[in-house]
Chain A
């Protein structure tokens, strides 16, 4: 008895949460990206304006470091506000438009591997880091046999090392292979 009460309470809670989520999702879908960019740019311009005052705006006859910053961020804030208000108005959306499939996974993976490259470059060095970086990137768009890709990555890392470090004399981190 008590168990079924708990279950019912639990299920009604999930139902309510799902409904609330659906409402929020629906509201988000209704608003276009302009609302969020408008809001973000308004906050950004507010922060920059306060920094402009910290820097000293000055007077027209003696403009300070924050003078132009104040002007530009003020105009930015006004335009962002206009965009925000416009985005609140109902828009007629074309129905039945097939949404283009976007491969978010690929983009997030490439950003993540770039961050890793930046973090590990000094420690592992150019050759090892670039080899691992390319091994991963060559697999992003199309999975295939790994042996040619590993050989390709190793060759590319070595050849680009010769190009950048030897021919163009760029100073690349050596990391774990100090003799290169």
Chain B
């Protein structure tokens, strides 16, 4: 493995890739700091620009935005008590209290250092786990892939922050959208309404820009909120010996927990951030201090969300299945470059796999440098009014969507998806399952149809093979756990009537 890591560093340290890594983590911190635009939106904005860069460079830059945003999110949580991005939600509780007590410096310091430790641990774990998993996945056939994707989508909908039922509907709409265009098996055109451009399908860039860029702007426009940054002197960024003593184990525990939760579909940083806080509160000898400016309440959730960002790369790099919306954009970026993430990625594009691993080590160091001495800059960024930011987001969306194919249809689609995304958010439909299903839909369809052709029309092929049966079993259990409380309620109601 040593030679491969050295190879990765050789790729990641070329001047171009170093610059892209810096640009990625810088932009990541920026969007993490700014509420109103998340990493998914920022990555969507940069997808068209990435066409001018090599696939390795694109992946390095976009991955930097993803894990960089986890660092930046904490700054807003601590200084404004609004999560810069959702994965920092629990950091607000104790982080803001610490800032009120004049301890903003140690809060920002421990969150940056905790993030660095967790980020580094998760890269090491990613390297160790992804390789054997990818080797195992090489044995997968169409039934296994179909069931794996089905299980992934079921988990994503099950773990949705909103209604699981609506998330499932969202995923189905995403699938239907992904099948617009020529049928991959027999070349028949579907849902094109006579528009030639639609034969290639709905573009992923207009879709993600609309759903994550434009609709986020609409959501922000309807509010009246003005950001008020706490007025405090930020000093003593480096944690004291006492802080270290109290935070070392929580950082390590939360890194492991975050990494494991990051691998799960739909998991990502939000659940990791939440669970780490709960876990540390339970394990603490002084749980009553949580919520009143406890430093562990900042260190643990911030470490967990960074470790989760590393964990989320495992299913993408080894199985070719993105498990959350932000990683789905990395998947989309590689597809645009003609690279298919999956078990063969490590063999066929070793430069991408080892390049990204090495760049994550470098990126984490860059982030530590960016976040500690440059904290003053991020505080200034926080004060930029939204009335200046949102026209720029809209402009980047419009130019980006137009510039890829010079197509007016793409612009119209982007605006349409923007309105759709806004309505979905208003009606409590999660947009992430739509994007995931949109990206995985074609693969799912081909795998399903190939499996049925192999088995000559018998659906038993999905339950007679152990891996596919296990995946299907997990999906079924999750679906049942959603339906069972409803059945139980009905049963109780009926029982109640009889007893009376």
Contacts and interface: CB of A to CB of B under 8 A. Distances in A.
Interface of A: 33-34, 37, 41, 48, 51, 55, 59-69, 72-73, 75-76, 79-80, 82-83, 101-104, 106-107, 110-111, 114-115, 117-118, 121-122, 126, 130, 133-134, 137-138, 140-142, 156, 160, 164, 168-172
B277 to A, nearest CB: 27
A107 B218 contact: yes
B458 A138 contact: no
Contacts of A55: 188, 190
B37 to A, nearest CB: 15
Interface in B452-469: 452-453, 456-459
A177 B218 CA distance: 32
A106 B395 contact: no
Given A65-B186, A141-B386, A73 B176 contact: yes
A138 B387 contact: yes
B330 to A, nearest CB: 21
Interface string B51-76: 01000000000000000000000000
A133 B52 contact: no
10 contacts: A51-B190, A61-B452, A61-B453, A66-B190, A72-B175, A73-B172, A133-B398, A138-B388, A142-B385, A142-B387
- Chain A residues touching B, majority SS: helix
Would you list the 9 A-B pairs with minimal beta carbon distance, nearest first? Answer: A61-B457, A137-B391, A60-B457, A141-B387, A170-B403, A76-B172, A65-B183, A65-B188, A102-B222
Given A55-B190, A118-B415, A134-B391, A107 B398 contact: no
A104 B24 CA distance: 35
Contact of A83 (B165, B217, B224): B165
Interface in B335-390: 385-388, 390
Given A103-B224, A107-B422, A138-B387, A68 B449 contact: yes
Contact of B452 (A41, A60, A172): A60
B399 interface: yes
A46 B457 CA distance: 26
A76 B166 CA distance: 10
A114 B395 contact: no
Interface string B391-424: 1101100110011001010011001001100100
Contacts of B422: 107
Interface in B147-188: 165-166, 168-169, 172-173, 175-176, 179, 183, 185-186, 188
A111 B419 contact: yes
Nearest to A75: B172
Interface of B: 48-49, 52, 165-166, 168-169, 172-173, 175-176, 179, 183, 185-186, 188, 190-191, 214, 217-218, 221-224, 385-388, 390-392, 394-395, 398-399, 402-403, 406, 408, 411-412, 415, 418-419, 422, 426-429, 444-445, 448-449, 452-453, 456-459
A91 to B, nearest CB: 14
B165 A79 contact: yes
B2 to A, nearest CB: 38
Contacts of A51: 190-191
Contacts of A73: 172, 176
A27 B21 CA distance: 56
Contacts of A137: 390-391, 394
Given A79-B165, A83-B169, 15 more contacts: A41-B169, A59-B457, A63-B449, A68-B448, A69-B190, A79-B169, A102-B222, A111-B415, A114-B214, A133-B391, A133-B395, A138-B387, A141-B221, A142-B387, A156-B391
B291 to A, nearest CB: 26
A76 B169 contact: yes
Contacts of A118: 398, 408, 411-412, 415
A168 B169 contact: no
Nearest to A141: B387
A33 B427 contact: yes
Contacts of B445: 68
Nearest to A157: B395
B427 to A, nearest CB: 5
A113 B49 CA distance: 24
B387 A140 contact: yes
Contacts of B452: 60-61, 63
